[in-house]
Amino acid sequence: MKVGERLLGKKIAKAHPPHGDIQLVRLEAVVSFTCSRCAQTKTARSVAVRGDGLFCNGCYGNMQASAPEQDQAPRGSTNLLPRASSSPSVGDVQPSLPETGDPERVVVEELDSGLPHSVVNTGLTVEWKFYVRAEHLLHGTCPVPAEMATRAAPHEPLDLTFLRGRHRIRVLDEQTGVRLQVRGGETLLTGLVWQPFVLPGTRVSVRWDTWKKLRLAYTPLDEPVVFGGTVVRYAHDPRIMTRELAAFDARVDRVEELVLIALRELGYLDEKGRALLPREALIRNTLERAQQERPARKKIYGAVERLLSRGVLTWERGSVNQAGMLHYPARHGETPVRLLCYTPTLRPAEREDLRNDESAAYSVSAHRVAGHLMRIGHLGKGASAEARAAYREDHQRAGLAGPHELPRGYTYVREHDRGV
């Protein structure tokens, strides 16, 4: 398959070289499909194709890792990893590792797209959990498992209740018309108005009972934390927040910002929300994603060096398998590779972070949220003119260097107070 062709109704934005009879492609927008290997419904941009079969990114990596070695390497080349720069790096304190080959061969497994998990069906109730994604916030939707999709009456309004722990949250006045609908072959709850404190990555527990009653519950943390500059009060997945909530947690210039966004958007994510990529893959993708005037490669190298010298980025060791699938920490028997690592700031929330905490009528939820970027490009969405103007104004007011233009694929949410 080639770039520009269509698969599942979407154009192919990137086509990896075939491995035998299977090829991994990246689409211009997310799609839902059933993996022919694990039989799970996936919503992602990366799809592996073999004949009439479609495979998720994870199964593709496992298939390639277990395939005979002669079938794994791309034709004409056995080099899967990016070539290290010959110039010394500030902060490059690790010994040289064998990094040779094409950065195109590094594949990062994508996160799930907020699919239901931990599903319990008692016959009278169906319970499940999921992590909120930017898509849910933008479209006012909630994923549902097949156990509900096959039993609930479509288009019938549901009685909705929100809980914080065991405490009921007042339903917003606009919270009407919540019902089950099929969109793009996927069954979803639609018509939701998410509370303003809900961030991408927030964990939600859902219970549906007596056919019309629906309960969505958030689990408060024992102590609020500040993750990447944003106050977080509820159980969450740090990986999703790193991917979709690009808050300003470091004063950086424009090129450094582009580097950090590319790393957070495309890097391998561990359970702590750290994002990792080989340097050459990061630089190449920063160039590809630069909007309007692309910075010179030399400037991107300089930005990486400055981020390393200030400790915003660090060096870590990872590995890749024969299919070029990136792993961290390094796995035994795989080719080692040096990785640039972004670690989001995480600290307990202080009084100034919770400045309205004592006086608020419902103090556990009132807080200040820093201005932040939210990733929407993978949803086929673009930022509004208002978001671009707000970002330009705030970026300039903060004294940040370089063009004050909103990065491609993101929208901007201004600093504001949140509370119920």
Of 344, 352, 379, 353, give the one whose Cα is nearest residue 27: 379
Mean pLDDT of 216-237: 90
User: What is the b/e burial string over 298-337, where b = at least 16 CB atoms within 10 angstroms of the residue's CB?
Assistant: ebbbebbbbbbeeebbbbbbbbbbbbbbbbbebeeebbeb
Whether residue 105 has pLDDT greater than 70? no
pLDDT above 90 for 119: yes
Q: Domains of the chain, with CATH numbers?
A: 1-64 (no CATH), 117-223 (2.40.330), 229-418 (no CATH)
pLDDT > 50? residue 358: no
Q: How far apart are CA 112 and CA 355, in angstroms?
A: 35
Instruction: Express as a percent the part of the chain with pLDDT over 90.
Output: 25
Residue predicted with more confidence, 415 or 342? 342
Return the minimum-mean-pLDDT range out of 178-182, 235-239, 326-330.
178-182
Long-range contacts of 292-296 (CB under 8 A, 24+ apart): 292/403, 292/405, 293/403, 295/254, 295/255, 295/258
Over residues 213-221, the mean pLDDT reads 93
List the single range of 75-84, 91-100, 329-338 with lowest mean pLDDT.
75-84
Residue 367, pLDDT > 60, answer no
Condensed to tens digits (0 to 9), the pLDDT of residues 37-57 reads 877 777 777 898 988 889 887
pLDDT tens track for 375-385 = 676 666 677 78
pLDDT in tens, 306-319: 999 999 999 999 99
Mean pLDDT (whole number) for 398-412: 64
